[in-house]
Structure 1
C-alpha cells in the first residue's frame, strides 16, 4: 500500500519535481493501535502475523469438522493444534469493561435466556458422552472450575449467543473482536431420585467468548489507517465522500498518509510473505452463580 508524497524541487535543480514514495506496511497497524492506547487488539494482530500461514475454513469458523465420510460434525475444541487457537490474550475482565458488551452479557446469563429446550438437550448429550444414563443412582460429575474455556467448550457448553457488532464505536474492542459469540457452560452433577427424577445440580456456570481471528470476506472494510491511528467514523465518512467525488487534493491535504484497509490486504500479505495464520480465540472464564440450582433432565 504505497503512500506517495510529492516534493517540489528548488528552482536551481534542473531535474524537476521529486516524488518520495513512503510504503505503509500492513504489519505497522499494531503500532498504530499501540499509539491509540489499545492493548488487546494489537496483541491479537501480532499473533496473527507471527503464526505460520493458515487460512481458516468455513467449517472451522462455524465450529464444524468433517468425518472420514466427509459429513459435517461438531468440532471438538480439544483437537485444535496450538497455532490454531489462543486462550491467553482475551480476558473477560477486559471484555466486561465495555458497558455495551457487559449489558449483553448480563442479559444472556439470565435464566430464561440460556435455559432453553435446545440447551437442556445439549446438556443431556454432554452427560451421555461422559457415560451418564437416565436413572443412574450414583451422582455423576460434569466438569470443574479448573477448566479453561476451550475445555469447557468440549465438555460442558450448553448455550450460545451470537452478537453482530453494529460498528458504532471505533475502540480496542472493535479492533480486537467486533462480532463474537458468548457461550455458557455448566459444571455440576447429574443424579436420579424417585421424586424429582433425573436432575442436574448446578455448582457454577461459566461465561466466555469464542471468536475467530480471520479475514473472511474479501472486501470487508477494516477502517482507514495511518501510521499513528485509525480514522474516526466521522472522518471515514468524509474520506469516502471525497473518494466518490474524486477530490484527491482534499484527501491529500486533510488525510495525508491515510490508507483504506480491507480483508483482502491480509490475504495478499499471506501470499507474499507465506506467513500469517488465522486462529480461534477463547477468552478466560467469568464464573457466576445461576438463578436456578437444578435442571430437570426429563424436561422437554
Structure 2
C-alpha cells in the first residue's frame, strides 16, 4: 500500500452502507486546502410560525461565544484546489437522498442570528439576548409525521407510545395534574379549540408523555469510529434532519366517565395528538471536543478514521485535514472535515445562522379503550 494513501469510508449507494476504500483507492491529505466561509448568507426569510408575534426593538449585533473546543488552525488554500463553501453542504445532502436535512440546513443559514447560551436556555427557548425565540425561529411546516413514520425506528417508537407508554402510571399522574385545572362539570374537552389549533400552545399545556428516537448524525459517525468500522448503515435523512428526538403525546379529547355524575372525580381520555418537537442547533457540550460530522464535498460525505487501532479510543480520532479522492484540482474531489464548531464560526463571521424549534404536523389518534383518570 502507498504510505501516502489513507483508508476511508464512503457511501455504497447500491446497498446503502459504508464501504471501505484503502490501498491504491485510499485518499490523500491536502494540506493547502481549507473550508470556505466567504459566500454571503442568503437573504433573510421568515418561515411559517405558530409562536405568538412579538414586537422587537432593533439591537446591536450579538456575538457568539468562542466554541469550547476549537479546531487546529487550518492551512491556507491555494488556487489549484477549487473552493468548497460550507453553504454547499445542503446540495451534497440532496445527492445522498437527504432532502429534508438539506432544507432545514438551508433554513438555518437563511435565519437571523439566534442561539441559546446554555442547555437550560435552549430548553426554555431563550436566546443570546435573554429573550424568547422570535416567531420566525419556529418551523411548523417542513417536517411531516407521515415522512417520520416511514423510518422503522420512528414507527416502532410511535407504536410503543400509543400502545403502552400513554398508559403508564407516570403518564396517568401527569394527565391527572393537567386535567385538574378544568371544571369537573364540563361534559367534554377538545384541546384543539382550547389551544386555538396551535401546536406550541398544545405542547406547553397538554403534552403528558414522550418517547425518544435515537439516530443523531454525529453520534452515528462516532459509533462507527468506536466500533472499528464494522459494517453499518449510513446516517439517513431522519438522522440528518432531526438527530435524536422525541415523539410527544398531548391530550386530544376527554369526556366524563360513566360514573361521573355520581362521583364527579373521573374523566376518560378518548383521543391524543401525536407530534414531534425538536431543536435544530449546532451546540456542542461544554468542555467536549466539537462533534465531527464527516468530511464533505459537493459529491457527498466520507469518513476518514485516523487508524483502526486508535478508532477504539473514546476520542474516536479521525484525520483533521482535508483529503482528496483523486486529482485535487477537479471540483468535488477534495473533502473537508466538518464540525459543529464550523457552523458556529460561520455564524460569528456573518452574524447570521438561526437555531430554531421544529414542530411537525399533528396526527389525532383515538384511545381505545379510553384511559380512565381519577382526580
What residue number does 1:229 align with? 300
Q: Compared with structure 1, are the counterparts of its residues 184 and 35 closer, same or farther at alpha carbon in structure 2 (3 Å cutoff)? A: same
After superposition, residues 1-300 of structure 1 pair within 5 angstroms as 4=32, 20-56=80-116, 57-63=118-124, 80-110=133-163, 112-129=164-181, 132-133=182-183, 136-144=184-192, 147-165=197-215, 167=220, 168-191=233-256, 193-195=260-262, 197-217=264-284, 219-231=290-302, 236=303, 238-241=304-307, 251-253=323-325, 256-298=333-375
Q: Offset at 1:183?
A: 0.6
Q: 1: CA distance between counterparts of 2:244 and 2:283?
A: 13
How far off is 1:171 after superposition?
Answer: 1.4
Q: Alpha-carbon deviations, 1:242-295, whole Å to 9, x = none?
A: 99797989x434694111211100110011011001011111112222233132
Contact 2:94 2:102 in 1 (8 A): yes
**CA 1:19/1:292 → structure 2, altered by over 3 Å: closer, same or farther?**
same
User: Structure 2-normalised TM-score?
Assistant: 0.61
- 1:148–1:285 Cα contact (<8 Å) kept: no
Distance 1:61 1:289 in 2: 32
Once the two structures are TM-superposed, the CA of residue 211 in structure 1 deviates from its matched residue by: 0.7
Please state how far the C-alpha of 1:175 moved relative to its aligned partner. Answer: 0.9
Structure that is richer in helix per residue: 1
SS of corresponding position for 2:278: strand
What do the CA deviations read for 1:93-151 (whole angstroms, capped 9, x no partner)? Answer: 000011122112112221x322233323332333344xx25xx2332514028835323
Give the 3 Å change call, closer, same or farther, for CA 36–164 of structure 1 in structure 2. Answer: closer
Is the Cα–Cα contact under 8 Å of residues 215 and 266 in structure 1 kept in the other structure?
Answer: yes
Change (3 A) 1:245 1:230: closer
Aligned residues: 263
TM-score, normalised via structure 1 length = 0.75
**Unaligned regions of 5+ residues in structure 1, if any?**
6-17, 71-78
The structural deviation recorded for 1:152 is 1.9
Q: Is the 8 Å Cα contact of residues 198 and 297 (structure 1) preserved in structure 2?
A: yes
User: Hey, which bits of structure 1, 4+ residues long, moved more than 6 A?
Assistant: 242-249
Aligned to 1:8: none
Q: CA RMSD in A?
A: 3.3
Task: Judge conservation of contact 1:208–1:282 (CA < 8 Å) in 2.
Answer: yes
Contact 2:185/2:264 (<8 A) preserved:
no
| Residue 294 to residue 109, structure 1, CA distance change in 2 (3 Å) | closer
Cα distance between partner residues in 2 of 1:283 and 1:163: 14
Q: Are residues 276 and 151 of structure 1, via their aligned partners in 2, closer, same or farther at CA, if it must alter by over 3 Å?
A: same
Is 2:167–2:371's contact at 8 Å kept on the other side of the alignment? no
